[in-house]
Structure 1
């Protein structure tokens, strides 16, 4: 038997090639300093299924990385039942943000999905367009005071996306949550990342400085969510049937009100802890992913003025001076292509982890039972067999004809299969509306031509993404 094969069920089968690493630590330092570059290098050197070992002997983890669209489809869709969210990274997210839709499994996930799904129908989500437009208008107006007419679009789009999702979740309670999330989320996500990628961790209950900082941030975040949930449920319980609850009680058709009311004969309803867990996951996934898409769409357009002009011309022709509406998504195909191409180059979820239940085979290589499986949209979205000149920004890759000719999972920024992101229509709605209004009001020129990034819970810019802005019309 060769070193590149394993015995499975009495048959010699191919093992995945291994990326070379250090004798004692394997590829741990490479993954810690530049995981996205490490995955790209693995695919370039060894192909579409590669093993990467990381950590010291006795604590070493072995990752089976799958980079082909066909492999991604098997893991996420056709064989999804064999690949679970049982790895240490997802457990750290559960321990911090709760067991919401992002991390729950089995009957817990199915029950949550059934309760939440009616809140994310196209008709329901389209009703949030006005809230997104209002928050975008407020952001654009604030840019009139930009020092030297320069804005960091990473900071600005993160703030905009957070305010938009907080308004949709909490209605008029936006201010009560935005400051807390702004302050606490970075502390918690950094803590989750450090523990998720560490070969060994001290118990969270030990009073180390890192544990105490994270616990304080979690207490503050939980506290504001629990207070708003309690107030909302108390106000709803006290409202007369059929009465107008008003802004101080029901506060309209915000998502929290709908989540609190969600129930069915089979699934009952969410209790207070479950409500908080769903809210925290929606805050996390709902603002960081959209912020990433908007940040890099603007950054890429700022580097490509002719494509920026083309997108702006479409916006002006379709919208004129009126506010964008949900129905305009279908009328702005080039702007949608811009966003999809930005999500190809900078996917908000650049790495997706699973754990194999039973032994499987992908692209001719054995995936052992219990193996940690890594999908990397960051790599698959640059796969040279599916994306010619993959680093070039070209929105025409997403014309209907080009999309139809491409492998289904050559592009999967929202995941796929039964665990596909429930909020993908909301993300596209928010992104198209915000980008349309922004391009109509300002022209952009890149100050920072390159923006360094790293893989966190989501993709994050680790440096500024500054653009010089020029007003084209009064802010809305």
Structure 2
């Protein structure tokens, strides 16, 4: 929607005289966004930074506004903001960060690797890794597990195996050591109003270069090993040999960038869904019992058969649990864009050049779409309930032309992985209460998420 003369100015979220809203956005952004919607409405303006260096950030919280920015008017809201630029410089210009013709070319080359039929073929790896994790828990857990670390490792093993095949163990060691600090480094630079050029030999820059060099070398080594091996079915081999008449093939730098983006986006999103689904089920034994009854009926109880992609359709309640966990704990709680043309969202002016964000964290708790929004209720995701809500009341995978290419893989991994773990174990709340959270590139637990487990 283009801007009209009657459009209102966005209300400004009050901050401190010295730093505006910067402290709130750095220290507890999720609470700051919720307060802003409650106090000021669905389109607000944060002013962050010291006087003279202050910048405006527009936040849009309605489902209709999210749809406008991500889908219907997506061409006017681009990935040109400082955070995406910092991420590009750290992990490359893959599908998550690229734009325009580069993005379209990459998407056309990569899309055949993520068809439903090909993704369904990874169900065996998911089931095997989940069974291996269950075996480890039986012998090593001591009756209690920390879900965030365990599920991150599980998701890394799955995506690493799908990406790298037999090279997964070596790859995971490097990824775990280098990728999280590179993300944190990029985020801090994105928020900083004054930052040293990356070329300056500051301690932070030098650490980042070492980590990036190690990560790039790993990917290049694996990619090179696949160039003469067209007989493997891991994603790196398929990427190496991907080409078409219109777009050619991916060069060495593009291959590395796609691999890194798949690692970044492919494990943290799923790990968050898995960890918080189990956390929620541990706190809600009635829903856990209903899931287990469904799983036992499909897979045959403890020690039963391995899951297949065909089982996805036979586990509707577990699928609803995953969706509800993604509603309450979206892996990407905030999605940023930059307006490249004057626009009007919800009757409010957003000028060209403005940094704009939409927030699954807030929209998926919006009382206009969700009754008692903090309550865990998987039945919000019956087909009838989903059809009755606006399309973008729930958008953990983004939306529009930049929607996550791996969302079917994430759902397959989440549903089938949980099915195996819930078939083998009962999960009990250990009384830890709510989990303190932060928002980096992805949603982060600031402390352990521990539950008791008992083998069935």
TM-score between the two structures when normalised by the length of structure 2:
0.97
- 1: CA distance between counterparts of 2:179 and 2:97? 17
Query: Match for 2:275 among 268, 273, 295?
Result: 295
SS in 1 for 2:13: coil
Structure 2: gaps (5+ residues)? none
2:352 aligns to what? Answer: 369
Tell me, yes or no, if the aligned pair for 1:294 and 1:435 is still in contact at 8 Å. Answer: yes
- 2: CA distance between counterparts of 1:297 and 1:449? 15
Query: Match for 1:165 among 140, 159, 174?
Result: 159
Tell me, yes or no, if the aligned pair for 1:172 and 1:251 is still in contact at 8 Å. Answer: no
1:443 aligns with 2:426: yes
- 1: CA distance between counterparts of 2:25 and 2:282? 31
Tell me, yes or no, if the aligned pair for 2:7 and 2:344 is still in contact at 8 Å. Answer: no
1:24 aligns with 2:18: yes
- 1: CA distance between counterparts of 2:290 and 2:425? 14
2:194 aligns to what? Answer: 200
Tell me, yes or no, if the aligned pair for 1:187 and 1:213 is still in contact at 8 Å. Answer: no
- 1: CA distance between counterparts of 2:136 and 2:188? 35
1:241 aligns to what? Answer: none
| Higher alpha-carbon deviation: 250-259 or 275-284 | 250-259
| Higher alpha-carbon deviation: 317-326 or 37-46 | 317-326
2:374 aligns to what? Answer: 391
- 2: CA distance between counterparts of 1:276 and 1:23? 45
- 2: CA distance between counterparts of 1:93 and 1:415? 18
Deviation (angstroms), 1:318: 1.4
1:314 aligns with 2:294: yes
- 2: CA distance between counterparts of 1:136 and 1:198? 40
TM-score between the two structures when normalised by the length of structure 1:
0.93
SS in 1 for 2:451: strand
- 2: CA distance between counterparts of 1:417 and 1:307? 33
1:470 aligns with 2:450: no
1:345 aligns to what? Answer: 328
- 1: CA distance between counterparts of 2:33 and 2:166? 43
Tell me, yes or no, if the aligned pair for 1:83 and 1:354 is still in contact at 8 Å. Answer: yes
Within 5 A, what are the aligned runs for 1:242-321? 250=230, 252-320=232-300, 321=304
- 2: CA distance between counterparts of 1:383 and 1:90? 27
Deviation (angstroms), 1:48: 0.3
Within 5 A, what are the aligned runs for 1:110-259? 110-233=104-227, 235-236=228-229, 250=230, 252-259=232-239
Cα shift readout 1:1-20 (whole Å, capped 9, x = no counterpart): xxxxxxx78x3531011111
Query: Match for 1:412 among 379, 387, 395?
Result: 395
Deviation (angstroms), 1:187: 1.4
Cα shift readout 1:257-315 (whole Å, capped 9, x = no counterpart): 11011101110000111100000000000000000000000000000011101001000
Deviation (angstroms), 1:126: 0.3
Cα shift readout 1:357-405 (whole Å, capped 9, x = no counterpart): 1101011100111111110100000000100100000000000010010
Deviation (angstroms), 1:24: 2.0
- 2: CA distance between counterparts of 1:134 and 1:99? 32
- 2: CA distance between counterparts of 1:348 and 1:37? 16
Deviation (angstroms), 1:140: 1.2
- 1: CA distance between counterparts of 2:113 and 2:128? 21
1:457 aligns with 2:450: no
1:244 aligns to what? Answer: none
Q: Tell me the number of residue pairs that the alignment of Structure 1 and Structure 2 aligns.
A: 450
SS in 2 for 1:440: helix
Deviation (angstroms), 1:147: 4.6
Cα shift readout 1:9-67 (whole Å, capped 9, x = no counterpart): 8x353101111111121010011100111000000001100011000122211011000
Q: CA RMSD in A?
A: 1.1
Query: Match for 2:316 among 321, 324, 333?
Result: 333
1:106 aligns with 2:100: yes
Tell me, yes or no, if the aligned pair for 2:156 and 2:267 is still in contact at 8 Å. Answer: yes
